[in-house]
Structure 1
Amino acid sequence: MIDMGPDKSVLILLKHCQEMKQQETYLRLITLLLLLGCTTLLIFTICADLRQRENSASSEQTSAVEQSPAYSKQDRVCPTDSQTNSKRLRIDLRSESANDKTDPQYLKWKVMFGEKYNKEKRAIVIPEDGFYFVYVRITLSCHHDDRASNFEKFYVALHNWNEGYNTTVKLIEAWDSITCPPDEERSKSAFVGQLFELLKGDHVSVWIEQGYRLITNSVFGAYLV
């Protein structure tokens, strides 16, 4: 038996308690590090799995698009665009020579491309409401005969008619002239073009009030903007 004093016993007890607290702190720290490591590993595993699923779904979708003939056809020709373009007006006309070149009269045309032309009315037919750019370009030349003079006048107008209101309306007009010196041939071009708001069923035609016999060739057209 070793006789120990009360003070020494207390010191030993305090030292033992400190060692226990240090061990408990170490255990808590190790436990926290383990939890953080497990959480990080779990998050990494979940993200990798989601990324793999997204890549797999994207690959399957791309493969389905490449193998689908219906989608390939739709990609080449969009039905909506096709339906819209079918209504769009694109027409170009060239003038036809007429036996009767007296004033006034409507110019007669032959179609270069486009379908909306009324041969009887000699007019472009508007297929739908909208804004259209309508133009006409006319080449004028001097003709030396008994009726010719040194100064020839020319008058052209764009007319619009619709059976809905059955009235001919003047859209735009233009005056021009050409000087014809004796024993000399001259030519010039007259151009009329403007943006108009037109309705479905409108018939746009070219009216020559004066100078029809000066016309050598002309172009008439319209397109939806």
Structure 2
Amino acid sequence: MGQKPNGWTQPTEADCWDTVSGVGQDRSVLILIKHCRDMKQQEMRLRLITLLLLLSCAALFIFTVGFELKQRENSTSTTQMSMDMQYPAYSQQGQLCSGDNPQTNVQRLHIHLRFVPEDNKTDGLYINWDVNFGEKYNKEKRAIVIPETGIYFIYVRTTLRCQDKDDAAKFKKFNMMLHKWNEGYNKTLHLADTWDGVACASEGLRSVFVGQLFDLLEGDHVSVWIGEGYELILKSSFGAYLA
């Protein structure tokens, strides 16, 4: 009975110590790994919190700057409105100096003329005009004077009617030309023309329009020449403006 089973050997003290040491080392490694993971998670949280704080500060700064700019704009608008109400003459003077109104700016041509009938209705003459609005009309030359070099739109609208009852069976021709003259070259030049006519038997009206852009020089005198059919003119208008 005092004998031990064959093949079994009692472990020594050294073997037990090695086993305990191995288990202790593995546990220390696990604890270290867990600690590193916790540190990384805390670092990520700190970075995220820092980023959110920076974004919040940037948004607050942008909102503050925008609010201040809006306040300044509203304040400036209110101040300008108050000045316009208190000093209307000053406000009107500022508008006149801005050059937006073509009738108050001498250099920016905008003129409209209306037909003045002649007692002697003969062909081969320049139409006489009366100023409806605008300036730069030379009554002696019967011409619009161009104040500065540029592109101008020149137009002439004429209403024709056969006014002689004795010529009821006739067809009468009408010829109108735009001329320009300048002291610099002292020569009349042809700009544009139109040919038309009226059948007197119809007793109707006919409208003739000439309008075109022209590159004109300072000092050019633009006038309307009637080559044929002056007696057919019932009314007419003539104008120009800087394009």
Match of 2:198 in 1: 178
Separation in 1, partners of 2:164, 2:218: 44
1:54 aligns with 2:74: no
Per-residue deviation at 1:153?
A: 2.9
Unpaired runs of 5+ residues, structure 2, are 1-12, 85-90
Distance 1:212 1:156 in 2: 9
Moved more, 154-163 or 14-23: 14-23
1:14 and 2:34 matched: no
CA 1:147/1:180 → structure 2, altered by over 3 Å: closer, same or farther? closer
* Aligned amino acid, residue 190 of structure 1: V
- Tell me if 1:207 matches 2:218: no
CA deviation vs aligned residue, 1:93-135 (integer Å, no higher than 9, x gap): 1111222222321110111122121111111112222222222
Q: Report what 1:66 is aligned to.
A: 77
Partner residue of 1:157 out of 177, 199, 219: 177
- Give the share of equivalent positions with the same residue, in percent: 40
Q: Does residue 1:220 correspond to 2:238, yes or no?
A: yes
* Structure-1 separation of matches of 2:189 and 2:226: 15
Q: Which moved more, 1:82-91 or 1:114-123?
A: 82-91
Report the counterpart of residue 188 of structure 1 in structure 2.
Answer: 206
> Structure 1 residue 185: deviation in Å?
4.4
Q: Which has the higher contact order (CA 8 A, sep 6+)?
A: 1
**CA offsets 1:165-194 (integer angstroms, 9 cap, x no match):** 11111111223333334xx84543333222
- For residue 21 of structure 1, report the CA deviation from its aligned partner: 1.3
Deviation for aligned residue 1:84:
7.7
Amino acid at match of 2:128: K
- Paired with 1:83 and 1:191, the residues of 2 have a C-alpha distance of 27
Q: Report what 1:134 is aligned to.
A: 154
2:117 maps to 1:117: no
- TM-score normalised to structure 1 length: 0.78
**Between 8-17 and 158-167, the greater mean CA deviation after superposition:** 8-17
Where 1:102 maps in the other structure, the secondary structure is coil
Question: How large is the Cα RMSD of the aligned pairs?
Answer: 3.4
C-alpha spacing 1:145/1:163, structure 2 compared with 1 (3 Å) = same
Which residue type is aligned with residue 187 of structure 2? Answer: T
Per-residue deviation, 1:164: 1.6
Number of positions where the alignment pairs a residue of Structure 1 with one of Structure 2: 220
Q: CA deviation at 1:50?
A: 1.6
Q: 1:29 aligns with which of 26, 31, 40?
A: 40
